[in-house]
Structure formats: structure tokens, C-alpha cells
Structure 1
Amino acid sequence: MAYVVIGADRLGNINALLEEKLDGELIHVSGRKKKDQNYSLPQLVKGVIVFTDYINHNLAKRVKADAKKRNVPIVFAKRSVSHLECTLEQMMVCQQEGCDRPCTRNRSFHATV
């Protein structure tokens, strides 16, 4: 199973954090290319990470609806290591406990579990 990362042209050092924290394949979609605008989530996906400062709004809405319909956790984060780390920690807690509350340190977290 894989995690889908949407947004940002390049992940840079965020890629190392994602590989460390997540157990599965990473699928990166920049979300800004014309071919990415009709992207739909793969069948077997463990979670979705959306970088809010590097994505088309229509794509973000479509991916959020798709994740919610399939009951897949989705998080929205800024493209920074510290912000993403808090978001990933909360996503892991929610996957284990089945909760949907926002992280108290990160107001942009949303999960559909």
C-alpha cells in the first residue's frame, strides 16, 4: 500500500522525513501540471498528504472528496519539515485510534478515518 503526496514540484529534504515516518511506497503528484488536474487516488492507498501552498484548489477539493468517500486519512500541511512532522504524528495517532480531531498544534490537520 502507498501514501500519496500531492503538491510541491520537488520534495527536497521532506522526502527523507516521509520515508522515515511512513511505511509504504510514496507516490508524488505535483498537482500543478495540466495532466495532474484529473488525478484520482489509486485503489490501495493508506493516506494522503496535501501541501496546501503548492496545489490547485480544484484538485485539493477533488482529492479530499475522494479520500473521504473511501475513508482514507488525509492531511493538509504547509511544505515545511516541522509543520509536516506534527501533522504526520497526528495522522499516525488517528490511524491507530480512529479519531478525527484536529491536532492542537496544527490547525490545518483534517483526517477522515
Structure 2
Amino acid sequence: MNALLVGADRLGNIPDVLQQFGIRIAAHVSGRDSAHQRRSAPLPAGIEMVILFTDFIGHNVMQRFREAASREGVSLVCCRRSVCALQQALGKRIAMDSCDRCGACPERSATGRRRH
């Protein structure tokens, strides 16, 4: 799976964690450029997941990439830039994605929507 990482100047051990989940970094944007706050350009081609490091980006940058992910139907993961936070967020996201596929999750309400 190809991911776009948004936030943080340095990634540290993040690439190793992503590799454990089968995720490849297709692009990394620090979010510091003022153009990232204003424009609503499409995501790069081939992106299947957007990972936002919330402690390193502003609200406008976060909103822009959230909207782009939603518009293009791409998975979105938001977390702090730490190995533990990323592992937890990816674990939850993968569990939710598999729940969406099977439809038999006991966490679903009578309407079929997830409650978690």
C-alpha cells in the first residue's frame, strides 16, 4: 500500500513501522510550505492512504489533506509522530477496514453502521 505522509521534517523510525504494516512511503510533505495551506490540489497518483502527523502541522494543512483524502476515497490515519501512536492508529485503521469488508462485525448497530 502506498502512503502520503504529511507533517514532520524528519521521520526517524517511522519508515520501519510502516514497513511492518506493508505500507510504502510514496511521498512525504512536511506541511511547512504555505502553498500546502491554501490549495486543494489532488493527491499524487497511486496514493492509497494519507497519514497526518497532527503535532507537526497546522489546522489549515490538516483540513486540506483530510478533504483531499475524502474526495478521492483514500484511507486517512491521524496520529502524533511517535512509533507507539502510529502503531496504534494503523492497527485501529486496519481493523476498521477489515470490519467494513466482512460486514459481520458485532460492533455494528441495527442500521449496519459501525459503533467503534
Superposed pair shares fold, TM > 0.5: yes
CA RMSD of aligned residues (A): 2.4
Answer yes or no: is the 8 Å Cα contact 2:55–2:80 preserved in 1: yes
Q: Distance in 2 between the 1:101 and 1:79 partners?
A: 27
Q: Which consecutive aligned stretches of 4+ in structure 1 deviate over 6 angstroms post-superposition?
A: none
Answer yes or no: is the 8 Å Cα contact 2:26–2:47 preserved in 1: no
Q: How far did 1:36 drift?
A: 4.1
Query: Structure 2-normalised TM-score?
Result: 0.74
Which structure 2 segments of 5+ residues have no match? Answer: 102-112
Q: Distance in 2 between the 1:25 and 1:61 partners?
A: 21
Answer yes or no: is the 8 Å Cα contact 1:6–1:49 preserved in 2: yes
25 and 15 in structure 1: CA distance in 2 versus 1, 3 angstrom threshold: closer
- The answer for the alignment partner of 1:11 in structure 2 is 11
Answer yes or no: is the 8 Å Cα contact 1:6–1:48 preserved in 2: yes
Q: How is 1:48-87 mapped onto 2 (pairs within 5 angstroms)?
A: 48-87=50-89
Query: Structure 1-normalised TM-score?
Result: 0.76
Answer yes or no: is the 8 Å Cα contact 2:15–2:25 preserved in 1: no
Answer yes or no: is the 8 Å Cα contact 1:31–1:55 preserved in 2: yes
Q: Distance in 2 between the 1:41 and 1:102 partners?
A: 29
Q: Distance in 2 between the 1:101 and 1:53 partners?
A: 28
Which deviates more, 20-29 or 89-98?
Answer: 20-29
Q: How far did 1:56 drift?
A: 2.4
Answer yes or no: is the 8 Å Cα contact 2:5–2:25 preserved in 1: no
- The answer for the alignment partner of 2:24 in structure 1 is 24
Secondary structure at the aligned position of 1:75 is classed as strand
Number of aligned pairs?
103
Residues 14-57 of structure 1, C-alpha deviation per residue, up to 9 Å, x if partnerless? 22111221333432111113454446411321111100000122
Q: How is 1:28-43 mapped onto 2 (pairs within 5 angstroms)?
A: 28-34=28-34, 36-37=36-37, 38=39, 40-43=42-45
2:3 partner letter: Y
Secondary structure at the aligned position of 1:45 is classed as coil
